[in-house]
């Protein structure tokens, strides 16, 4: 029985054909039947190479085009699987992280992953999911973004191997490449005559990304229209060079995956496959990413380890099980244990803590996780000891916007003298009022007597710092020299 699935121009409508006959129409219907089909197949194919069982975790949403062959192909031996990332910003974000985690699952199942950086395609700009034309990027900007993304990808794959891979077997090598390497010497005539001739206008025009833009008042440039040809050629190139059979991408990439499938099929006669991962959305339902301007970044310069940790720590209880399945590599039985513990006392946020810990370890390694934990401790627990665990840079990052003053510690220096030098209180009566009302804190402890002489370990921490807070959120840091 040959079964195939097709998505029409709308995002939500599927048509499923069996032996050429329309079997069913609709959205959840097809996805649900795919899910049960894969779970059933899992029992028939012994190897865990059949990554489609990951639909249990919700990490794979749809497959294109042929639902019957892929489990067999995956179980038959290691396959090359790729996912592309356009360097249109200098960092990836947690939406992209889901695609990286999908690649990690492939690698853990013994397949050969390729993370492709779109150094060439970023210059054109993918219209998928965009309602307006992208602002063109300078080639030098794309190049430096690509370098930064490459090092994040390397870091994540290294962290995974170091902290998450416990088996004796060697993980297959991750290949990180840039499509600029095959486009830089590409001859435009050869490309159009080769790739352009293979693809039919009707299908290219039917893609959702094209339809939406053609219907808009701004229309669509030929450059953006041509984007799908380049992504399709990448698939063909990786198929030729590495025998790549599978491309992963978010749901917004389905049209590009279909064009890739069509090109490879026409040129080689072989079927290749697209596996679609769900889109991570914000609480308002928008795709998390660059375009929506709501990205949570994985480069520390853009989103600190503490903020990344806090992002996951603050997610609502209702999302926990789903997010643990998507964003961690914990086995499902461990996730069930975490959820059981969490449900007993949700206010302890055990599920959020586990989720945040696992993401931090993957993205920033042990050092980043440790920093985020110490900073969280200092932020929410008021003991001076928690502040002492932080160095200069960490404390300054934690209390962003705090005024930093360097002071020389002289014998007999009092709290009042320090407050005066730091200029954290208004002069005269107003300042005295704040003090006597208990509005000044030193190292998280309320000041009751400002005439006291500063004492090491109480007022001056072992790290040579004093943290002053005036009112609810005005912070001042003293660095003693």
Ligand X SMILES: Nc1ncnc2c1ncn2[C@@H]1O[C@H](COP(=O)(O)OP(=O)(O)OP(=O)(O)O)[C@@H](O)[C@H]1O
- For ligand X, the binding residues (CB under 6 A) are 83, 85-86, 88, 95-96, 98-99, 126, 129, 249-250, 252-253, 277, 279-280, 287-291
The conformation of residue 54, written as its DSSP 8-state character, comes to: G
HSE-CB at 8 with a 13 A cutoff on CA atoms is: 11
> Rule CB under 6 A: which of 140-199 touch ligand TYR?
179
The conformation of residue 281, written as its DSSP 8-state character, comes to: B
Interaction pattern, residues 115-144, with ligand TYR; x per rule: CB under 6 A: -x-x--x----x------------------
Binding to ligand TYR by residue 95, rule CB under 6 A? Answer: no
Residue with tokens 């300054």: 396
Are 89 and 291 contacting, i.e. CB atoms less than 8 angstroms apart?
no
Report the partner that residue 231 touches, choosing among ligand X, ligand TYR, none (CB closer than 5 to 8 A by kind).
ligand TYR
Report the partner that residue 95 touches, choosing among ligand X, ligand TYR, none (CB closer than 5 to 8 A by kind).
ligand X
CB of 221 to ligand X, least distance (A): 16
Q: CA nearest 206: which of 31, 19, 6?
A: 6
CA–chain centroid gap for 441, Å, is: 38
Distances (CA, A) of 234 to 186, 264, 292, 411: 12, 10, 27, 70
Are 426 and 434 contacting, i.e. CB atoms less than 8 angstroms apart?
yes
Residue 368 CA to residue 398 CA, distance in Å, equals 14
What residues does 15 pair with on adjacent strands?
A: 6, 25
Report the partner that residue 288 touches, choosing among ligand X, ligand TYR, none (CB closer than 5 to 8 A by kind).
ligand X
Are 263 and 198 contacting, i.e. CB atoms less than 8 angstroms apart?
yes
CB of 253 to ligand TYR, least distance (A): 6
In the bound state with ligand TYR, the residue whose beta carbon lies nearer, of 93 and 469, is: 93
Q: In the bound complex, which residue of the shown chain has the CB atom lying closest to ligand X?
A: 250
Among 34, 49, 62, 84, binds ligand TYR (CB under 6 A): 84
Binding to ligand TYR by residue 91, rule CB under 6 A? Answer: no
Binding to ligand TYR by residue 262, rule CB under 6 A? Answer: no
Residue 68 CA to residue 58 CA, distance in Å, equals 20
> Rule CB under 6 A: which of 212-241 touch ligand TYR?
231, 234
CB of 469 to ligand X, least distance (A): 37
Report the partner that residue 234 touches, choosing among ligand TYR, ligand X, none (CB closer than 5 to 8 A by kind).
ligand TYR
Report the partner that residue 121 touches, choosing among ligand X, ligand TYR, none (CB closer than 5 to 8 A by kind).
ligand TYR
The conformation of residue 390, written as its DSSP 8-state character, comes to: S
Treating both helix axes as pointing N-terminal to C-terminal, what angle do 350-380 and 139-159 enclose, rounded to 10 degrees?
Answer: 110
Q: Which residues bind ligand TYR (CB under 6 A)?
A: 84-86, 116, 118, 121, 126, 179, 231, 234, 253, 256
């Amino acid at each position: 029985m040959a079964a195939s699935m097709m998505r029409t121009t709308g995002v939500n409508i599927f048509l499923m054909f069996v032996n050429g006959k329309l079997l069913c129409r609709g959205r959840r219907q097809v996805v649900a039947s795919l899910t049960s089909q894969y779970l059933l197949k899992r029992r028939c194919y012994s190897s865990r190479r059949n990554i489609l069982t990951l639909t249990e975790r919700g990490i794979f949403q749809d497959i294109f085009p042929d639902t019957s062959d892929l489990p067999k192909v995956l179980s038959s031996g290691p396959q090359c699987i790729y996912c592309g990332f356009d360097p249109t910003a200098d960092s990836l974000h947690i939406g992209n992280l889901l695609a990286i985690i999908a690649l990690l699952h492939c690698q853990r199942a013994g397949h050969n992953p390729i993370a492709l950086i779109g150094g060439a395609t970023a210059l054109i700009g993918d219209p998928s999911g965009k309602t307006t034309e992208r602002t063109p990027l300078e080639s030098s900007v794309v190049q430096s973004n690509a370098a930064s993304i490459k090092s994040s990808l390397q870091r994540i794959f290294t962290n995974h191997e170091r902290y998450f891979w416990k088996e004796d077997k060697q993980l297959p090598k991750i290949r990180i490449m840039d499509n600029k390497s095959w486009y830089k010497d590409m001859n435009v005539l050869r490309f159009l005559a080769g790739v352009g001739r293979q693809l039919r206008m009707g299908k290219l025009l039917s893609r959702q990304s094209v339809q939406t833009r053609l219907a808009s008042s701004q229309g669509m440039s030929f450059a953006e229209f041509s984007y799908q040809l380049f992504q399709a050629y990448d698939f063909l190139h990786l198929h030729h060079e590495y025998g790549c059979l599978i491309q992963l991408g978010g749901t917004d990439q389905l049209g590009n995956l279909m064009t890739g499938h069509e090109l490879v099929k026409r040129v080689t006669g072989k079927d290749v496959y697209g596996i679609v991962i769900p889109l991570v959305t914000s609480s308002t339902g928008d795709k998390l990413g660059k375009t929506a301007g709501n990205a949570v970044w994985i480069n520390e310069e853009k989103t600190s380890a503490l903020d990344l940790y806090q992002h996951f720590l603050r997610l609502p209880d209702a999302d926990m099980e789903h997010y643990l399945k998507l964003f961690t590599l914990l086995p499902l039985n461990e996730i069930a244990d975490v959820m059981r513990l969490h449900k007993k006392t949700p206010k302890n946020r055990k599920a959020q803590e586990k989720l945040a810990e696992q993401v931090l370890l993957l993205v920033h390694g042990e050092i980043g996780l440790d920093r985020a934990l110490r900073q969280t401790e200092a932020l929410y627990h008021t003991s001076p000891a928690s502040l002492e665990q932080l160095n200069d840079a960490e404390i300054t990052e934690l209390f962003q916007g705090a005024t930093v003053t360097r002071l020389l510690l002289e014998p007999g220096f009092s709290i009042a003298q320090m407050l005066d030098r730091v200029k954290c209180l208004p002069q005269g009566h107003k300042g005295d009022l704040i003090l006597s009302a208990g509005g000044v804190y030193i190292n998280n402890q309320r000041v009751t007597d400002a005439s006291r002489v500063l004492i090491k370990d109480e007022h001056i921490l072992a790290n040579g710092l004093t943290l002053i807070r005036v009112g609810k959120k005005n912070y001042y840091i003293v660095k003693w020299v």
